[in-house]
Amino acid sequence: MKKYILYLLVIPFFFCCSKDDNRRNTNPFLPDYSFSVQIDLNLPLYSNLNSPINPQIVHLETGGIKGLIVMKVSDTDYKVWEAACPNQYTTQDCSLMTLNGVNAKCPCDDIEYSLFTGVGNGGSYALKAYRVEIQGKLLRVYN
């Protein structure tokens, strides 16, 4: 009898879990290009990235789709996001994000995304995150 009660209590948990399809890792608007780039924080162009909470859009030939949004969070953590709007096709002229403090804004649909979490105030997809390795004064960004 105790077994049956236990089964009746456990089985509903299997049915109440759902998949969050809106925050999938695969985004049909943003292609997955493999890349690995280094950002030299000693260069004057990237001096803003040496202080925390000071995001900057970095345009490199081989980094990202439309560029990278880089922000130092702490001495041991950087966040790097794709600079293309996650809910727009990259062929649109307005699909390059702009910075608004610690948020990135898509001019196509006026959705703002937190540069701490990558989550926006609307839309189906969050910002596309890239991996970061801190190697002294070099940042290696890759996917």
pLDDT digits (tens, 9 = 90+) for 107-134: 999 999 999 999 999 999 999 999 999 9
User: Domain residues of the chain, as ranges?
Assistant: 43-142
* Pairwise pLDDT comparison (41 vs 14), residue with the higher score: 41
CA angle 89, 92, 96 (to 5 degrees): 85
What pTM was estimated for this model as a whole? 0.80
Q: Fold for 43-142, please state it.
A: Rieske Iron-sulfur Protein (2.102.10)
Quickly list DSSP for 76-128: TEEEEEESB-TTS-TTSTT-B-EEETTEEE-TTT--EEETTT--BSSSS--PP
